[in-house]
C-alpha cells in the first residue's frame, strides 16, 4: 500500500539525529532512520514530526504495531494531521483492524476531499466493515477523481457483489482486470457468485476464459455435468486432468466418461488413481462398480472386498460386495457378506431378497421361504418386480415343502 512519506517542520531545536533520520529516509535506509528518530525523540518527545517520521520508518519495516503507536503519538500532539491519519488508517487496514481505521480515514477525507487516496482507502475500510452502500459511494468518489484505478474498480465491483447486484458488479470487475492483469483472477470470484445465484451459464462463460486454470476447468466441467451436457463436461475435465492429474480430477473425469456412455475410457483413469492411492476407499468403490458394469463379477468382488478392508464398518461396501458375489454365483461368500450386513443392523429389503435368492439357489428351501416372506413384509410392495418374484417363489417353495 502506498504511504505518505516525510513530514518536515523546520525548527531550530531539531537535532542532528532528526536531520540524519531524514537523510536515511531519503535513501530508504529505514532501520537507520528509525534509530535516528528514536534518538531525536529522547531530546524532544513532543516533536510530532519525529513521531510521524519514526512511524513511517516502522511502516516501511513492516513493524506495524510500533508504527501504529507512533502515528497515534503524532496525532495526540497534532490532532488531524492529514498524513498521520491517512497512514495510520492504511496500516490499520493492513493489520485487519478496519473498525479502528475508519475514523482516521474519515478525518483524512474531510481534510482533503478531492484527493484519490483518502477516498479510496475510506472505501476499503467501509467495505471491510460491511458498510456496503457507503463503500459504494466512496469508491465512486475515488473513481471520479482517478477513473483508471484498477483497485477502485475492483473494490466497487466486489462491493456490488456483496449486495447481490452482480449485473452491476461485472463491468467493474472486468474493467479492473483489463487495466491490471494482476486482478484477472477476481473474475473467478464473480463466477462463484453467479453459481450461488443459480446462474450457471454466466459462471461457465467466465470459467472458460481460464483454460490453464485446473480449478476453473473443474468448475466448468461440474456445471456442464449438472446440466446434463456430459460431452462438453468431458472436454473440460480432460483439461483439468492434463494440467493437474490429481486423484480427484481423475475421478470426476471418469464419472463424466460413464455418464457420456464411454465407460471403457473411465476404467483406465480409475486404475491410474488406484496406482497412486491404493488405500483410497472412494476410488476402490468406483473401480469396483466400473468393473461390475463390464460384467466381470469376480474382479469387481476383489475391489469391493478391498474396500471393506479399508472401511470394515461401511454398509455400502458390504452391500456392493454381496450383490456382486451373487452375480458371480459365489453363494457362500455372498451369504457371509449378507450376514455381516445383518450384524451391522444395516439390512434393507433388497438385502433380504438377495438372501432369499441365494438360499433358494443352494436349495435351502425353508430358510429361503422365510427370507422371501420377510422381504415381502419389509418391502410392502414398493418394488413390484421383486415383490412379484418373491411371491411366486414363496408359493412354489411352500408347495414343494408340503409335498415332503
Q: Is 329 left (phi over 0), alpha (psi -120 to 50) or beta?
A: left
Cell representation of residue 341? 450386513
Q: Which long-range contacts (CB under 8 A, 24 or more apart) does 43-49 make?
A: 43/15, 43/17, 44/13, 44/14, 44/15, 46/77, 47/14, 47/18, 47/77, 48/7, 48/73, 48/74, 48/77, 48/78, 48/81, 48/84, 49/7, 49/8, 49/9, 49/18, 49/74
- What domains can you pick out in the chain, each with its CATH number? 1-147 (1.25.40.10), 210-277 (1.25.40.10)
pLDDT of the chain along its 404 residues, tens only? 566 555 544 444 456 888 998 999 999 999 999 999 999 999 899 999 999 999 999 999 999 999 999 999 999 999 999 999 999 999 999 999 999 999 999 999 999 999 999 999 999 999 999 999 999 999 999 999 999 999 999 999 999 999 999 999 999 999 999 999 999 989 998 899 899 889 999 999 999 888 888 788 878 888 888 888 888 888 888 888 888 888 888 888 888 888 888 888 988 989 888 888 999 999 999 999 999 999 999 999 999 999 999 999 999 999 999 999 999 999 999 999 999 999 999 999 999 999 999 999 999 999 989 999 999 999 888 888 999 998 999 899 988 888 76
Q: Is 261 left (phi over 0), alpha (psi -120 to 50) or beta?
A: left
Average pLDDT, the chain: 90
Q: Is the pTM of this model over 0.75?
A: no
Q: Which of 20, 4, 202 is nearest to 108 (CA)?
A: 4
> pLDDT tens across 170-211, in order?
999 999 999 999 999 899 988 998 998 899 999 999 998 888
Query: Distance between CA 400 and CA 394 in Å, rounded?
Result: 10
Amino acid at each position: 500500500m502506498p504511504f505518505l512519506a516525510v513530514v518536515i517542520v523546520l525548527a531550530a531545536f531539531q537535532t542532528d539525529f532528526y536531520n540524519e533520520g531524514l537523510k536515511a529516509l531519503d535513501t530508504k535506509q529505514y532501520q537507520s532512520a528509525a534509530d535516528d528518530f528514536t534518538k531525536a525523540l529522547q531530546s524532544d518527545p513532543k516533536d510530532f514530526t519525529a513521531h510521524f517520521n519514526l512511524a513511517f520508518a516502522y511502516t516501511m519495516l513492516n513493524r506495524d504495531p510500533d508504527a501504529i503507536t507512533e502515528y497515534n503519538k503524532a496525532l495526540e500532539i497534532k490532532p488531524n494531521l492529514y498524513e498521520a491519519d491517512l497512514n495510520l488508517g492504511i496500516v490499520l487496514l493492513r493489520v485487519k483492524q478496519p473498525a479502528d481505521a475508519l475514523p482516521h480515514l474519515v478525518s483524512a477525507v474531510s481534510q482533503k476531499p478531492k484527493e484519490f487516496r483518502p477516498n479510496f482507502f475510506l472505501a476499503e475500510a467501509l467495505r471491510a466493515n460491511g458498510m456496503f452502500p457507503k463503500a459504494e459511494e466512496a469508491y465512486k468518489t475515488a473513481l471520479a477523481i482517478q477513473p483508471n484505478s484498477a483497485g477502485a474498480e475492483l473494490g466497487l465491483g466486489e462491493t456490488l457483489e456483496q449486495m447481490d447486484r452482480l449485473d452491476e458488479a461485472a463491468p467493474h470487475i472486468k474493467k479492473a482486470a483489463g487495466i491490471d492483469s494482476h486482478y484477472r483472477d477476481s473474475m473467478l470470484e464473480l463466477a462463484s457468485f453467479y453459481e450461488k445465484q443459480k446462474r450457471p451459464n454466466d459462471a461457465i462463460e467466465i470459467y472458460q476464459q481460464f483454460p490453464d486454470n485446473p480449478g476453473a476447468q473443474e468448475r466448468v466441467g461440474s456445471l456442464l455435468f449438472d446440466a446434463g451436457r456430459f460431452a462438453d463436461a468431458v472436454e473440460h475435465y480432460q483439461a483439468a486432468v492434463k494440467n493437474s492429474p490429481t486423484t480427484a480430477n481423475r475421478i470426476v473425469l471418469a464419472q463424466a466418461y460413464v455418464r457420456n456412455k464411454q465407460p471403457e475410457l473411465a476404467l483406465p483413469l480409475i486404475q491410474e488413481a488406484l496406482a497412486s492411492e491404493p488405500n483410497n476407499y472412494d476410488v476402490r468403490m468406483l473401480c469396483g462398480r466400473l468393473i461390475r458394469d463390464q460384467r466381470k463379477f469376480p474382479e469387481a468382488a476383489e475391489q469391493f472386498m478391498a474396500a471393506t478392508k479399508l472401511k470394515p464398518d461401511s454398509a455400502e461396501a458390504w452391500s456392493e460386495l454381496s450383490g456382486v458375489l451373487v452375480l458371480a454365483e459365489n453363494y457362500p461368500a455372498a451369504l457371509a457378506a449378507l450376514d455381516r450386513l445383518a450384524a451391522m443392523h444395516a439390512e434393507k429389503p433388497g438385502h433380504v431378497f438377495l438372501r432369499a435368492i441365494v438360499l433358494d439357489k443352494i436349495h435351502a428351501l425353508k430358510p429361503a421361504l422365510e427370507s422371501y416372506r420377510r422381504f415381502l413384509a419389509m418391502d410392502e410392495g414398493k418394488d413390484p418386480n421383486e415383490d412379484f418374484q418373491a411371491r411366486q417363489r414363496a408359493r412354489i417353495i411352500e408347495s414343494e415343502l408340503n409335498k415332503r
